[in-house]
């Protein structure tokens, strides 16, 4: 599917799951290299920046947080950007909410009112990436909110349930970090070449995007640090609770072992077993075992074992 938007002489051609004919028509229309056309038709899953004489190719892999069952997962999405003087081509195989949102506000000419200097398509690319990165920041903030909720539940006594929750959040952050790991190299390359390619002071816009990604990288690092602290705390509380349970069970067993031993002695089928057969024999055993149990319990309390 091909959508075309125009703004002050600059065209944005948005390709979603383009067919071979659609991609070929765009390549011919703007005189693109055949390898760029192949890039528009397939997902390479490798972020990169390549510069040609009259245009540049930017490939970005994007982490998108999607609901799955009772939790979430991080899906890998790719957008290919071809940026020329008067045109911007985007190609993707999946629907990306932030790009769809940008398309709506672009049609309303509201996203670009911040700056009247739309000298080339690089400015549209700048606002588009800023919108995409805003969505990534929102996803990271949602992950942080999930971590804070997990913290509350940990101290509310849900340590066992939080083991699975924290593992799921850890997987999300790992996938998020892996997907965006090459972005810093892409923006560094863009900073070095954007000034010569786009001219003027456009390098400052690319540096702003790089700084935006640095903020995203910092959010990922902070979330991973918080996750590590929560997992350590959860493991400690869970271990403490398990140790308390084991201690109680051990004390109960230690109390009942002597009672079981006494009972076993008086059930030995031998002659002249004391108090067996006497009218008060059963009650005497019960009282003796009760007194022994109370004595051991008092001793354990005195030793602060319970």
Express each pLDDT in 63-86 by its tens digit. Answer: 888 888 778 888 888 888 888 888
Per-residue pLDDT for 109 more than 70?
Answer: no
Per-residue pLDDT for 205 more than 90?
Answer: no
pLDDT at 223: 92
Average pLDDT over residues 205-211: 85
Per-residue pLDDT for 112 more than 60?
Answer: no
Q: Are 227 and 148 in contact (CB under 8 A)?
A: no
pLDDT at 90: 85
Q: Band of the pLDDT at 173, cuts 50, 70, 90? A: very high
Question: β-pairing, 10-16 with 2-7?
Answer: antiparallel
Beta-carbon contacts of residue 210 (< 8 Å; ≥ 6 apart): 184, 187, 188, 190, 191
- Quickly tell me which residue has 């390619």 as its tokens: 197
The distance from CA 161 to its chain's CA centroid, rounded to whole angstroms, is 18
Q: Which of 61-65, 197-201, 267-271 has the lowest mean pLDDT?
A: 197-201
Report residue 59: phi and psi, to 5°.
Answer: -115, 125
The two structure tokens encoding residue 263: 């009972």
pLDDT at 114: 52
Burial of 18 (0-12, 13-18, 19+ CB in 10 A): buried
Q: Band of the pLDDT at 221, cuts 50, 70, 90? A: very high
pLDDT at 113: 53
According to CATH, the superfamily of the domain at 2-239 is CorA soluble domain-like (3.30.460.20)
Per-residue pLDDT for 286 more than 70?
Answer: yes
Per-residue pLDDT for 277 more than 70?
Answer: no
- For residues 69 and 143, what is the distance between their CA atoms, to the nearest angstrom? 16
Average pLDDT over residues 171-194: 84
Average pLDDT over residues 272-291: 74
- 164 half-sphere exposure, CB direction, 13 A CA radius: 6
- For residues 43 and 26, what is the distance between their CA atoms, to the nearest angstrom? 17
Per-residue pLDDT for 192 more than 80?
Answer: no
- For residues 117 and 303, what is the distance between their CA atoms, to the nearest angstrom? 80
More confident residue, 150 or 264: 150
DSSP 13: E
Per-residue pLDDT for 164 more than 90?
Answer: no
Going by C-alpha positions, the residue among 69, 67, 111, 72 that lies closest to residue 88 is 111
Segment (H or E) for 74: strand 71-84
Q: Where are the domains of the chain?
A: 2-239, 244-302
pLDDT at 9: 77
Express each pLDDT in 228-259 by its tens digit. Answer: 999 888 888 888 787 777 877 777 777 777 77
pTM reported for the whole predicted model:
0.74
Per-residue pLDDT for 1 more than 80?
Answer: no
Q: Average model confidence (pLDDT) for the chain? A: 80
Average pLDDT over residues 197-208: 74
- Quickly tell me which residue has 């230690």 as its tokens: 254
The distance from CA 168 to its chain's CA centroid, rounded to whole angstroms, is 8
- Quickly tell me which residue has 């990534």 as its tokens: 136
- For residues 32 and 89, what is the distance between their CA atoms, to the nearest angstrom? 11
């Amino acid at each position: 599917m091909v959508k075309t938007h125009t703004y002050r002489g600059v065209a944005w051609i948005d390709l979603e799951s383009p067919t071979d004919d659609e991609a070929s028509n765009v390549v011919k229309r703007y005189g693109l290299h055949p390898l760029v056309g192949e890039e528009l038709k397939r997902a390479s899953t490798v972020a990169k920046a390549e510069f040609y004489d009259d245009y540049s190719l930017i490939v970005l892999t994007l982490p998108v947080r999607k609901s799955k069952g009772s939790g979430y997962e991080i899906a890998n999405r790719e957008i290919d950007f071809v940026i020329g003087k008067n045109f911007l081509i985007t190609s993707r195989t999946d629907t990306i909410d932030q790009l769809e949102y940008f398309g709506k506000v672009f049609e309303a000419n509201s996203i670009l009112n911040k700056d009247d200097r739309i000298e080339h398509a690089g400015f549209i690319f700048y606002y588009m990436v800023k919108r995409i990165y805003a969505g990534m920041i929102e996803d990271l903030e949602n992950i942080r909110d999930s971590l804070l909720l997990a913290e509350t539940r940990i101290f509310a006594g849900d340590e066992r349930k939080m083991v699975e929750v924290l593992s799921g959040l850890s997987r999300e952050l790992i996938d998020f970090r892996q997907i965006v790991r090459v972005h810093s190299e892409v923006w560094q390359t863009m900073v070095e070449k954007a000034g010569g390619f786009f001219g003027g002071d456009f390098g400052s816009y690319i540096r702003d995007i790089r700084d935006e990604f640095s903020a995203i990288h910092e959010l990922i690092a902070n979330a991973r640090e918080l996750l590590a602290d929560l997992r350590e705390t959860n493991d400690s509380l869970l271990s403490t609770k398990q140790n308390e349970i084991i201690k109680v069970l051990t004390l109960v067993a230690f109390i009942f072992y002597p009672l079981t031993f006494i009972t076993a002695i008086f059930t030995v089928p031998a002659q002249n077993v004391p108090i067996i057969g006497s009218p008060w024999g059963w009650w005497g055993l019960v009282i003796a075992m009760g007194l022994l149990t109370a004595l051991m319990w008092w001793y354990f309390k005195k030793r602060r074992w319970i």
